[in-house]
Structure 1
Amino acid sequence: MLQSSFYRKIQFSFLIFILLPIVTVSSLAYITIKRTTMDKMEAANQSILQLMTKDIEKLLDDISFASHFYVQNVEIRDNLREIQGMTGIHTFDDFNKYTKIRNSYDQVSINALNKYVRLFLVNDTGFIVPYMDVGSGQTLPQMESDWKTVKPRIVLDNPTSIQWLGTVAGSGPDKDTYYYLSRVIRDSETGSLLGTLMIGISSTYFDPYFSSSTSGQFTLFEKNGQRIAGNASIAYSEQELPRKQGERNIRSEAVIAQGNWKLVYETPEKTATGQITQTFFVSAMAVAVFIIMFLMLSFFLARSLHRPIRKLQRIAHQFGEGNRSIRFPDKGRDEISDLGRSFNSMLDEINGLIAGIETEQEQKRVLELQALFAQIRPHFLLNTLNSIKCSLYVSDDRLHGRMIDSLSSLLRAYMRVNEPSTLLSESVLLKHYLEIMNMRNDLALELSVRIPAELERQPMPMLLLQPIVENAVVHGFVDKEEGGSIALTAERAQDRIMIRISDNGRGMSDGQLRELQAVLNQDPDQQSSYRRVGLLNVLQRMRLTYGMSAEMGMERSESGGVTVRLSFPIQPSEGESHV
């Protein structure tokens, strides 16, 4: 595998500045053409929908004319009066009356009035006079069944307009759904019911119209969303039927005002844009093949550039291993030779820098010796403080002598902060610290220590307790004029030691105590932003020494100050062992 990235940069530049614009322009062109095609398809669908709407409106106009004819024609009204109260054909006279009604149908011309359109009259007793006989494919039982279904939907007191009754599921062998319209006919003189004109349109009637379009599908709905005819997969509205992901149809709608019907025409988007999409993907595959060919060609070209660069790399490696006399053979006038000459100049400069570094290293060793010598000065300071203390004691100035003694003790502790200490030694350091703070701040603080003998030699980090006492002095007694006290107690609880440091200072509010306790209970990463680093430092040193089971707590002391609780596992002191 080639380690140089020079040829990769060339490939990347080619992809960014050549192929990316080509892909971008092609994608934009595809989107634009697709959108334009869909707009044209929507316009074409709307035109087809308008033509289909006119044909349906023509059918409804014929039906409306027929209904008005039966209402207005005097002869038909007379014939209906004659069959008033008739329940069937029982005599030859009944048959003549029945034939008159049948002959009156010939005066009405309804477009495509055939077996897909049911036309019959029903008198006041429910006796049916059909337009077509049994041989036409429509049986009287079917009409009677449909009449029983739609009869409750008819408003008999409304003879002035066509009533749109809705669909009736097919009961015959064809199982076709029929949409029924009715017109109530009443006697203009007495107002009595003469009959009801029923017109049923089969869903199959629309099939020749709807099947004429090969690119889309039609569906006809009534105003309540009930499907009259057409494809069952088309919904009344786009929100009612969820599509599969990525599927989209071009939808056009038209309302037929006479029946308040809605005609919907949908064309799958892939029908309009399928060829465009296919062409786009073929072009994309051709571009992909071109990219692969370019990458292969660039790989072989890069190998010829990589060899001299690899040679430069080997020279640099040998130079790094100590062969400072090696150089690149800069024969030729091409760019690689220019690079080799610059590389040789750089090696010469590196030789000069190495010589200078060796000189600096020698100077650094001298400085390190001086730093080691400077470490003796703290011992000189301690010896000086000890001499001052002796002079003070000789002068019978024991107060300042004790101060110097306490200061020397703390200084020794700070110098050995990484060494282990004991609980008893820590309590002694706390006394020395309080003596110095009393002198500095003109305080009269007292320290009481109560440590069981078995815990006096308990190992613990040096100066672990001093920051806690320092917090008590700085925050608890800074403004307190009368004397204060600090108590240090320790006790053993099974395999753990419990240390309490209490003061009678000004204390803290309950809210401050809860906030501080919440900080102590947080993860170490979240504690870094808290300003009281002394307490967190104590908790972190405890966890580094005793593990994550080490705990610190804060509470109000009985005297109104603050009590700090420390708890950690007991460790065996020197000379002890666990059985």
Structure 2
Amino acid sequence: MYKLFKRSFYMRNQLTLLMFILLPLSIVSFTAFFLIKDVVIDKVQSSRQNVVDVMAGDMEKSVEDIIYASNLFRFNALYDDLQVFKNVDQIDSSEDYKRYERISDMLNLAFSKTSGLKALVFYVNKAQFQIGTAGADYEANHRIEAVTSKWMTEQWKRETDPERIYWFNVPVKKGDLYDIDESTYLFVKVIKEHNGNDYLGVLYVAVSHRYFYQLFEGIGAGQIGLYEADGTPILLYPQQSELESVPGVIELQSDISKTGWKVGYRFSPKEIMDEITNIFFLYGLVLGVSILIFITLSIVLAKRIHRPLFKLRRIAEQFGSGNRLVRFPAKGSDEFGVLGSAFNNMLDQINQLIADVEQEQEEKRIIELQALFSQIRPHFLINTLNSIKCDLLLAGDSIRGRQVEALMSLLRAYMRVNDKSTLSQECKLLQDYIDIMKVRSRLRLYLIVELPEHLESFEVPRLILQPLVENAIVHGFANPPDYAEIEVQISETESGVIIEVKDNGIGMEEGQIDRLRSILRGEVQVEENRRVGLLNTLRRLRLTYGPDATMDMLRNEEAGTTFIMFIPKLEESSRPKDQAGYIVVDEDICSG
């Protein structure tokens, strides 16, 4: 036997597991049964005290919601309606109906937070006319009012303190409200006139004991109850308990400060220890049987486990040495057959991954060549346009030469759209864009730029002004005027730079301007392919200058529309860095 354990790694492993894990586990488990009694009781007591505290907190929150809603209903702006409505015994006019609706709406609003209580909430004026919340059971409300009228007399209503909320435990017999014996806890607040001489009505909030039962159902073993401040039980769950005759009962309680109630819970440690005993007995039985089965199977299957694992290790070593054709001879559908199939699939996937990587490297090389080739195309285009411009200038056609030069300027700007530009350069691009649009639209179009000298070098994102001018041409001059003018005014404030783009086009209605403002503020979703240029301009501004960058618009007094762009000043350290790696094309060699 010693040679067997010395020779087989798995047998040594099983012996080690038996001696240092299973045996100590068994000893500790049975010893713990006799040592953890007090610990378990303390933990259970602490845990259930937390449950009681949570229940008390929930009830106190519910009471606070009722008090808040009652005060909100009393101090709302409908005091005049309540005063006029106090003697209404039926709806006889539209004015009465409107007051009824306003009072009902306020009642629903004030007690919206108490919907989880499933309480009956209703208001009864001095003439006994009832207004309930949505879905109120008017028959049940009348029965509650009838039960409480025994002690809530007219004199009591006139003399009661309007600042207080009174609560009563109202016993209800079978058939009064439900088809079962069930009581109701009633919150009452008398709504009085400001001078205190008379009352306007009474606000009732009836919370069924069913709410408390549903709250107490999850407590488990023992008995939980709700008690008045003097110890009188309001309700107990379950109502009948054998704890009175059981020694060593543990009692827990938590106070509800708003009402003086107490939530009390009693349980017997014997019930917990009986559960622990049954669990430990079952655990010990399962542990003993498992140990016997484990030892038997370990001895019988050790050899069958060892051989496939050794073969699997040898194949892994061969594959790691470079033999990628080696495979595990997977047979059968047992664990080793499944493991061998999975291992073979893994080897196939590794081979496929190597092939994919090699193919990906080849595709990457081709893509890099294509990218280099695509960089030549715009370079070639601009050089070609430059040659055309030179030919036109040499031929004396300065007008078309200027048009080609403007087109080249815009192409350069589009190719370097992520680079920074200055306001001076942007205004030059606007003039180039205007020259091109004159050719396309046959407009008598003029651009006026007012740029202070000290702002000429102010950096902005490239092509940030072109969408505003394009919008003015496309939408403002849809019906071309005799004289189309776009004016760009740039000024500076303490907090930033203001750029105004004005046109004398057809303009827009106030409704259209308001909708476009809502789109720019993100309040309305923009339709597809509508105002995309303006939105992209605003997004570029905010990506560069932060959320303080804004765009606005207004209708000119005479004609046209004005777009206003605000660019906040940034600290030098917070300015975004320019991106590198863009194509550098040939500079213009025919400037004359």
Instruction: Give the TM-score band, short-chain normalised.
Output: 0.3 to 0.5
Indicate the structure (1 or 2) with the bigger Cα radius of gyration. Answer: 1
TM-score scaled by length of structure 2: 0.45
TM-score scaled by length of structure 1: 0.46
